[in-house]
Chains A and B, each alone.
Chain A
Amino acid sequence: MSERKAILENVFRHEYGKIIAVLVNRFGASNLEKIEDAVQDALVKAMQVWAFKEVPENPTAWLIKVAYNKIIDAFRKEAKVVMNDFETTDDLIDEPTTLSLKEHISDSQLKMIFACCHPSLSVEYQLVLSLKLIGGFGNREIAKVLLKKEATVAKSFTRARAKLKEEIKTLDIPIEIGLQSRLFVVMRVIYLLFSEGYAPHSGELIVRKDVCYEAIRLALLLQENKYCKHQNLDALIALMCFHVARFDARIDHKEQLVDLAHQDRSKYNQELINIGIFHLGSSGAIDRQPSNYYLQAMVSYYHCIAKTFEETEWGTILELYDLQLQQQYSPIVQLNRIVPYLQVHGAHKALKEIKVFEKSPHFIKNTLYHAIKAEILTDLGRLEDAKIALNNAIERCANPLQEKHLLGKLHVLTS
């Protein structure tokens, strides 16, 4: 299955997000629980009926109708809403309409994204709301991605939803104003979502990959809207495509992590690399100060196109890291910079460079710091010291997949 298709797969999950958005747009965020129940019921009915018959020609319209009727029923039971306003779904589904259903959905989902990424919500709430209400992920799946207990996620979602309802009475913000002022927040949430999905954790690879795809899907959805066009967004899309393109090469058939030097580059997904290159072109940062997303995308791009580890343009990558640090200092970026630095300047200089971190209590606890140090020491032939560094790295490693990888390296050094 092609990666592009994979982004479009998971019909139920995506339908869930779509229909939630359309109905919240219609009935308001104050009815969110009712809407969630109705959409869940609609999916249950779909599961029953579609299993016996063919999936209808327009599954979205089918699901909207069913969910819509369920909500109307729920209102009738409460008998407190004037029904006339909501009596029919015709204007949503049937032709002719001012907006086609597809446009109506992407418009609603866009509003929903901006609502879930409302600046008054904490990052945790933004992530949980986005995954659940837009991505259609279940609590169990979210728990796997955020490495939390299912019950914790459920509680967090309940609180986040209450806050959302409190803050956002209606999704009907003037789209131009709302979108432009909040676009950067939304992009950051998408970036975080992607990062959560990208960090390798054993066992839940499929879910994590899905989260990455979801982040890309949301970014593409934004990108389609004229008010959201921004070169940083193109850079973000490029960055995500380049990363996901290497997904399959990062994990081997034994579910083991493969480091950059040993990846089978024929497994890099050319289709995604091309999509990335296309967006990188649109992110044109020639005469402007390049965004952080752009610089990161460029690093990833050079990794994607390198024929081998040795033939990688390490010099350029190092410069890109330096630019990132100039724009905004980040200790993690500085640490990662050592990797291309080692390739460009050799192990002796790299060892001096990494010494800076020794005094920082933060980095003494960091697995990556010790792992990079071990790499440098191995290059210098100081195998005993390298082993100590590797052991330090393993001791501090919280990620089983990475731990296994480091143990493998230690094994090579010992034998």
Chain B
Amino acid sequence: MSNFLFLFRGGNSDWLEDSPEEMQKHMQKWGAWMGGLREKGQLVDGLPLAKEGKVVEKAGEVITDGPFAEGAEIVGGYLIVSADDLAEAVAISKGCPIFEHEGNVEVREILSMNI
């Protein structure tokens, strides 16, 4: 078993115009999806992230708004998920509601000190 980082990004901006009802439904899908992971013991950790951020390069000589500001983030945030391997982690990510709004998930294995 390894832990994997799920980083949620992007999405079209149509949803910013969604009605409160539609937003609630979308939120409930996230809740249900994460709840499912928790029940199966796959969810290790996770937090939401603000839309604003900076990318710092060359020891602060270059500070940009970063490469991540593609479209409007739906649920910007990260999860740490436990899975057998990358393939399983990717399979888990497929159920994520972010795809409803054309967002994406970056899946990366977190390296462990244990050999």
Residues in A whose Cβ lies below 8 Å from that of B16:
40, 44
Give A302 to B10 CA distance when docked, in angstroms: 56
Determine the chain A residues whose CB is within 8 A of the CB of B75 once the complex forms: 47-48, 51-52
Q: Are A10 and B23 in contact (CB under 8 A)?
A: no
Which of B26-34, B54-62, B83-91, B102-110 forms contacts with chain A? B26-34
* Complex Cα gap A139–B14 (Å): 13
Instruction: Establish whether residues B20 and A50, one from each chain, have CB atoms under 8 Å apart when the complex forms.
Output: no
Give Cα distance in the complex from A16 to B34, angstroms.
25
Asked whether A13 is an interface residue with its Cβ less than 8 Å from the other chain, the reply is: yes
Q: Is the CB of B34 within 8 A of A137?
A: no
Q: Which residues on A sit within 8 Å (CB–CB) of B34?
A: 51-52
B77 touches A13 (CB 8 A): no
Which of A48, A49, A50, A139: most chain B CB closer than 10 A?
A48
- Taking a contact as CB atoms under 8 Å apart, the answer to whether B77 and A12 are in contact is no
Contact of A138 among B20, B27, B31, B48 (CB under 8 A): B20
| Residue B46 is within 8 A (CB to CB) of chain A in the complex | yes
Is A38 among interface residues, defined by CB-CB distance under 8 A?
Answer: no
Contact flags (1/0) for A1-42 with B, using CB distance below 8 Å?
000000000111101100000000000000000000000100
Contact yes or no, B19 A13, CB < 8 A: yes
Contact present for A12 and B48 (CB under 8 Å): no
Interface of A is mostly: helix
Contact of B19 with A137 in the complex, beta carbons under 8 Å: yes
* Residue A140, interface by CB 8 Å: yes
| Residue ID in chain B nearest A14 by CB atoms | B20
- Report the bound CA distance from A44 to B77 in whole Å: 13
> Is the C-beta of B65 less than 8 angstroms from some C-beta in chain A?
no
Contact A13 B21 (CB under 8 A): yes
Distance between Cα atoms of A16 and B18 in the complex (Å): 12
- Is the Cβ of B20 less than 8 Å from the Cβ of A136? yes
Shortest distance in angstroms between B71's beta carbon and chain A's nearest beta carbon? 14
| Contact between chains at B19 and A140 (CB < 8 Å) | yes
User: Is the pair A47, B26 in contact by a Cβ cutoff of 8 Å?
Assistant: yes
Per the bound structure, the CA–CA distance linking A47 and B26 in Å amounts to 8
Contact A138:B30 (CB < 8 A) given known A48-B77, A52-B47, A52-B77: no
Chain A stretch 94-112: residues in CB contact (< 8 A) with chain B: none
Using a CB-CB cutoff of 8 Å, which residues 66-80 of chain B contact chain A? 75-77
A116 surroundings in chain B (CB, below 8 A): none
A136 and B21 contacting across the interface, CB-CB below 8 Å: yes
Chain A residue with Cβ nearest B72 = A44
Contact A13 B20 (CB under 8 A): yes
Distance between B6 CB and nearest chain A CB, rounded to angstroms: 12
- Least Cβ–Cβ distance between B46 and chain A, in angstroms: 6
Interface residue B12 (Cβ < 8 Å from any Cβ of A): no
Q: Are B31 and A12 in contact (CB under 8 A)?
A: no
Q: Judge if A43 is at the interface, Cβ distance under 8 Å.
A: yes
Instruction: List the 9 closest pairs (A to B, CB-CB), nearest first.
Output: A138-B19, A51-B30, A12-B24, A12-B20, A16-B20, A47-B27, A13-B20, A48-B48, A52-B48
Chain B residues with CB under 8 Å of chain A are 16-24, 26-27, 30-31, 34, 46-48, 75-77
Question: Could you list 20 examples of A-B contacts with CB < 8 Å?
Answer: A10-B21, A10-B24, A12-B23, A13-B19, A15-B20, A44-B16, A47-B24, A47-B26, A47-B30, A48-B48, A48-B75, A50-B27, A51-B31, A51-B34, A52-B46, A52-B48, A136-B19, A138-B19, A138-B21, A141-B19
